[in-house]
Amino acid sequence: MLHKEKVPQSWTRKQTLVNAERYITEELKVYEEKILGAEDKILLLETSLFNDLAAGVTDMYSRYNTMPT
């Protein structure tokens, strides 16, 4: 890298590109981990909400079918 000596010591090299280097700071790393963790939590929450909705619909359908006509 042409200007490697200008990169602050607190930055960590993350990836080498064709004509460049990518760096990350500790602050960005923590933020990235929060975002990736949030995506997992969102998926779990969406799955739980969907399952609750499906169970509720099934329950209501069962009640509807057992009602006298």
Which residue has tokens 């460049």?
Answer: 20
Distance of CA 3 to the CA centre of its chain: 34
In the chain, what's the furthest Cα-to-Cα distance? 83
Flag the least confident range among 2-16, 23-37, 44-58. Answer: 2-16
Instruction: Look at residue 41 and tell me whether its pLDDT is greater than 70.
Output: yes
Handedness of CA 25, 27, 28, 33 (dihedral sign): positive
Which residue has tokens 């981990």?
Answer: 33
Instruction: Look at residue 1 and tell me whether its pLDDT is greater than 60.
Output: no
Task: Return all residues near 15 (Cβ < 8 A) that are at least 6 apart.
Answer: 21, 22
For residue 2, the model assigns a pLDDT of 62
